[in-house]
Amino acid sequence: MEKWIHAFVPVHKVLIVEDFEPFRRFIFTELQQRPECHVVGQAFDGVEAVERGQELKPDLILLDIGLPLLNGMEVARRIQKASPSSKIIFLTQESSPQIAEEALRLGALGYVVKSQAGRELIAAVDAVLRGQKFVSGGLEFAENAPAQCHEVQFYSDEAVFLRSFTRFIAAVLRAGSAVIVVVTKSHQDSLRQSLKAEGLDIDRAIERGAYIAVDADETLSTISVDGLPDRLRFFEDSTGLIERASNAVGTVRPRVAFCGERVGLLWAEGKTDAAILLEKFCNELSRVREVDILCAYPLLPGQKEQPAFESICAEHTAVSSW
């Protein structure tokens, strides 16, 4: 409930969620310019943020995206269930239009890039408390965003798998981007040999972090709960890998590539529902992060005629089958 200053000015309860102490102090200092903003709590990670939000039910939440334990997007979803009247301003280093759009789609009213917070934070607070949207200047939205690329390769033998993944990875590395390769250990070895045969210095790419190999079996276990992929675990795992790959590229808005066979492993075990669920998570990821994705599925005779085949194809922007 709002308090009042001099019986005219409402006082709004504010929760600050930021894990970097110097920036948290900056936010607090900026808010002191607005006596109607009363900081009632601070949180340093995502789990604590949800607890404090549910407990305090603040009027305004200033929320980082890259938080430990639980990312800011998931924090926003959980808090809004318990305190739907809380207004949210995301404060983040992420200047991606796709992420900004996702934040606003979640119900946030404000999105401020940290590098612009010095001149925009108070303006954002004022606008959002009036019920208006505020987005950092310079962000360009969907009409200028890179097209989503989420392709699938169905393969009838190992040679097709190796050829398609080698071609995909080689193109990414030669373009100066980074790639995350989520395959079985046996495929990791064969892919490295194939890429070296193409003249690529894979050892160097691994050393600088542009080629990140992850065991598909192990990570599938990590992101799953009760036999199904878990959305939160998937995003935490994927975001960490993307950050590592982005650092290797070193450009302002790096585009990272994923190629993997976790969905293929689920398909091969007859877990079609789990595979489709994971594909939906991949589509969501490609909308909020600048990633290109290639998935691989083993294909047996007669499977093209199954309804599940069409369902999987429908989750992709392009389909290849050999």
CATH of the domain at 292: 3.40.50.300
pLDDT number for residue 104: 83
CATH code at position 76: 3.40.50.2300
Range of the domain at 153: 147-321
Do 51 and 135 fall into the same domain? yes
Q: What does the pLDDT look like over 6-35, one tens digit per residue? A: 444 578 999 999 999 999 999 999 998 888
Distance CA 258, CA 201 (A): 19
pLDDT at 146 over 70: no
pLDDT number for residue 140: 54
pLDDT at 152 over 50: yes
107-114: average pLDDT? 90
Do 119 and 15 fall into the same domain? yes
Do 315 and 183 fall into the same domain? yes
Structural element, H or E, at residue 314: helix 307-314
Query: CA geometry: angle at 110 spanning 107 and 115, to 5°?
Result: 140
> Which domain-ending residue is among 91, 117, 142?
142
> Which domain-ending residue is among 89, 115, 142?
142
Token pair for 157: 């033998």
pLDDT number for residue 95: 76
pLDDT number for residue 2: 45
Do 151 and 85 fall into the same domain? no
Q: Which one is predicted more confidently, 32 or 182? A: 182
> Which domain-ending residue is among 96, 121, 142?
142
Three-class HEC string of 5-53 = ECCCEEEEEEEEECCCHHHHHHHHHHHCCCCCEEEEEEECCHHHHHHHH
Q: Please say whether the beta carbons of 42 and 72 come within 8 A.
A: no
Do 48 and 25 fall into the same domain? yes
Do 12 and 89 fall into the same domain? yes
pLDDT number for residue 308: 87
241-270: average pLDDT? 85
pLDDT number for residue 4: 46
Tokens 């926003």 correspond to 76
303-320: average pLDDT? 86
Please give the tally of structural domains in the chain.
Answer: 2
Do 271 and 303 fall into the same domain? yes
In the structure, what pLDDT confidence band is assigned to residue 145 with cuts at 50, 70 and 90?
Answer: very low
Do 159 and 124 fall into the same domain? no
Do 135 and 188 fall into the same domain? no
Share above pLDDT 70 across residues of the chain, in percent, rounded to a whole number: 92
Share above pLDDT 90 across residues of the chain, in percent, rounded to a whole number: 54
Query: pTM of the prediction?
Result: 0.57
In the structure, what pLDDT confidence band is assigned to residue 188 with cuts at 50, 70 and 90?
Answer: very high
Do 193 and 284 fall into the same domain? yes
292 phi, psi to nearest 5 deg: -105, 140
pLDDT number for residue 9: 53
DSSP state of 146: P
Helix, coil or strand: residue 262 = helix
pLDDT number for residue 180: 96
Q: What does the pLDDT look like over 33-61, one tens digit per residue? A: 888 899 999 999 999 999 999 999 999 99
Q: What does the pLDDT look like over 197-217, one tens digit per residue? A: 999 999 999 999 999 999 999
